[in-house]
């Protein structure tokens, strides 16, 4: 959510930003919120004037009563009562206008960074850099579910009976490998100086609307029936929510946290073969990183964060590339975003395994997260990034570490988490 004062003073910049995101249907919202803001400020001014006059009259009533001028005092009391009635009307109108303004401001997209490429959708995202050499072996690589089944590592049939499509049982060495990757990712981030955290896996609606847009919420979140609670789609939601309505001392910045959680997503719609199995599912686990920092430091942290993900994947012998999201592919709260994609030898292409986002002060403004320093109070910037999200990551891991005989190599960094195993057969 952008600053209302900024919108008021720079309506054309806000409109141009909307055009860059190919959301022309939202252009009229800028003029609408400006008109509502003018009306709201007039209402507030009238209410403030009435409060001042009412206080003045109340003092005069006290003086008149002290002088025994009861009739004059009663006349003033009548006027104060009339003003109180009008003030109540104004306060109700002000609350209504504030609600309308906030609702509109919540759907006007954040101002994107000037470096973001302009494009309509993800087909116009831009490849930035490749890390590692993508290899296609001279033997056939099975579909990832077939590969896991050959290693006695997955049971989808039982999961369908228990929970339906989009769920799974991981078994044996594959389940152990899944946990090993999460544990390695946790320690990897702790070694980078991040504080480890296990957050709540459910959050209230005020946190949901503070960390994401209404459209994202509807597409992703599972609501708990009869409760003001939602299952998290990523631990970023509850991790940023941790700071709701707080004032952070500037000297404690940056706040750098890495969190483990299960994640729950609706993932509506049909998908192709490669996106079935454990690629697009309703439940998975993830190691996340989030940063709350000074505005001037956010781009520095943004670049550090996606590089950490690249470093982790390369330590597991997985080639990756980075993709910059174009303007039309950016969620409304995001200022800039880079996806990390892993190489799939089977598909002979890269696929997304993580996303790093800078949200500027949008989440902080919605959640009333402020920093206090020598220069006063201000909103910090918030960032988030995927460290590792198996089981999708398992697809890339298994395909890139597969041998011709069907066994899977365990990279040296993971061996301590696998009981010393060097290979899965």
pLDDT at 71 over 80: no
415 CA to centre of own chain: 33
Q: Find out whether 354 is annotated in a ligand binding site.
A: yes
Q: Is the dihedral of CA 178, 181, 184, 185 positive or negative?
A: negative
Give the up-direction half-sphere exposure of residue 251: CA atoms within 13 A in the CB hemisphere: 1
| pLDDT (average), residues 10-37 | 97
pLDDT at 217 over 60: yes
Q: Determine the Cα–Cα distance for residues 379 and 296; give it in Å rounded to an integer.
A: 12
Q: What per-residue confidence (pLDDT) applies to 276? A: 61
Task: Count, in order, helices (H) and strands (E) of the chain.
Answer: 13, 18
Cα of first residue to Cα of last residue in the chain, in angstroms, is 51
Q: Find out whether 258 is annotated in a ligand binding site.
A: no
Q: Determine the Cα–Cα distance for residues 234 and 388; give it in Å rounded to an integer.
A: 12
Q: Find out whether 267 is annotated in a ligand binding site.
A: yes
The pTM (predicted TM-score) of the whole model is 0.88
* Segment 174-198, tens digit of pLDDT: 999 999 999 999 999 999 999 999 9
List the strands of the sheet with 202-203, edge to edge.
Answer: 202-203, 230-231, 222-223
In the block, residue with structure tokens 């997260």:
369
Q: Find out whether 353 is annotated in a ligand binding site.
A: yes
| Cβ neighbours around 109 below 10 Å, total | 22
Q: Determine the Cα–Cα distance for residues 248 and 355; give it in Å rounded to an integer.
A: 26
* Segment 239-285, tens digit of pLDDT: 999 999 999 999 999 999 999 999 999 876 544 444 467 888 899 99
Which of 73-82, 86-95, 132-141 comes out lowest in average pLDDT? 73-82
Q: Determine the Cα–Cα distance for residues 415 and 317; give it in Å rounded to an integer.
A: 13
Q: Find out whether 355 is annotated in a ligand binding site.
A: yes
* Segment 108-140, tens digit of pLDDT: 999 999 999 999 999 999 999 999 999 999 999
Q: What per-residue confidence (pLDDT) applies to 268? A: 64
**β partners of residue 274:** none
Backbone φ, ψ for residue 284 (5° rounding): -155, 175
The DSSP secondary structure of 28-85, one letter per residue, reads HHHHHHHHHHHHHHHHHHHHHHHHHHHHHHHHHHHHHHHTT-HHHHHHHHHHHHHHHH
Q: Would you say 28 and 34 are in contact if contact means Cβ atoms under 8 Å apart?
A: no
**Exposed, middle or buried: residue 178 (CB in 10 Å: 0-12, 13-18, 19+)?**
buried
Q: Determine the Cα–Cα distance for residues 145 and 276; give it in Å rounded to an integer.
A: 9
Q: What per-residue confidence (pLDDT) applies to 216? A: 78
Do you know the residue count of the chain?
425
* Cis peptide, bond prior to residue 254, ω within 30 of zero: yes
Q: Could you give all domains of the chain from N- to C-terminal order, each with its CATH number?
A: 4-105 (1.10.287.40), 122-424 (3.30.930.10)
Write down the mean pLDDT value for the chain: 92
pLDDT at 222 over 80: yes
Q: Find out whether 344 is annotated in a ligand binding site.
A: no
Percent of the chain at pLDDT > 90 equals 81
Q: Find out whether 288 is annotated in a ligand binding site.
A: yes
pLDDT at 153 over 90: yes
Q: What per-residue confidence (pLDDT) applies to 36? A: 97
3-state helix vs strand vs coil in the chain, percent to 5: 50, 20, 30
Q: Determine the Cα–Cα distance for residues 373 and 274; give it in Å rounded to an integer.
A: 50
Which of 98-102, 389-393, 396-400 comes out lowest in average pLDDT? 389-393
pLDDT at 305 over 70: yes
Percent of the chain at pLDDT > 70 equals 98
Q: Find out whether 265 is annotated in a ligand binding site.
A: yes
């Amino acid at each position: 959510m952008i600053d209302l004062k900024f919108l008021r003073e720079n309506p054309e910049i806000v409109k141009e930003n909307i055009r860059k995101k190919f959301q022309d249907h939202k252009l009229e919202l800028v003029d609408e919120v400006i008109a509502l803001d003018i009306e709201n400020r007039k209402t507030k001014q009238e209410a403030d004037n009435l409060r001042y006059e009412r206080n003045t009259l109340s003092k005069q009533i006290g003086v008149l009563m002290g002088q025994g001028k009861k009739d004059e005092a009663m006349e003033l009391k009548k006027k104060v009562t009339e003003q109180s009635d009008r003030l109540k009307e104004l306060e109700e109108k002000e609350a209504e206008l504030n609600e309308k303004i906030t609702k509109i401001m919540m759907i006007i997209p954040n101002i994107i960074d000037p470096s973001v490429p302009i494009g309509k959708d993800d087909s116009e995202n831009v490849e930035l850099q490749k890390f590692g050499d993508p290899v296609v072996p001279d033997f056939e690589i099975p579909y990832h579910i077939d590969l896991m089944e050959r290693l006695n590592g997955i049971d989808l049939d039982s999961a369908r009976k228990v929970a339906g499509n989009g769920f799974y049982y991981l078994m044996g060495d594959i389940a152990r490998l899944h946990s090993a990757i999460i544990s390695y990712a946790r320690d990897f981030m702790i070694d980078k100086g991040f504080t480890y955290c296990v957050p709540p896996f459910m959050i209230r609606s005020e946190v949901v609307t503070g960390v994401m847009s209404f459209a994202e919420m509807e597409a992703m979140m599972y609501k708990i029936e009869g409760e003001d609670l939602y299952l998290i789609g990523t631990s970023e939601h509850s991790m940023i929510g941790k700071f709701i309505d707080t004032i952070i001392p500037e000297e404690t910045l940056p706040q750098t946290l890495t969190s483990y959680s299960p994640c729950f997503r609706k993932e509506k719609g049909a998908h192709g073969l490669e996106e079935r199995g454990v690629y697009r599912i309703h439940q998975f686990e993830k190691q996340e990183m989030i940063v709350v920092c000074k505005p001037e430091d956010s781009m520095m942290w943004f670049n550090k964060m996606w590089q950490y993900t690249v470093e982790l994947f390369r330590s597991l012998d997985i080639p990756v590339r980075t993709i910059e999201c174009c303007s039309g592919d950016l969620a409304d709260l995001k200022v800039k975003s880079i996806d990390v994609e892993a190489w799939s030898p089977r598909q002979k292409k890269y696929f997304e395994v993580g996303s790093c986002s800078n949200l500027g002060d949008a989440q902080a403004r919605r959640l009333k997260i402020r920093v206090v320093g020598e220069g006063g109070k201000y909103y910090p910037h918030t960032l988030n990034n995927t460290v590792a999200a198996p089981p999708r990551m398992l697809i890339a891991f298994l395909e890139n570490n597969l041998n011709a005989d069907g066994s899977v190599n365990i990279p040296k960094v993971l061996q301590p988490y696998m009981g010393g195993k060097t290979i899965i057969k």
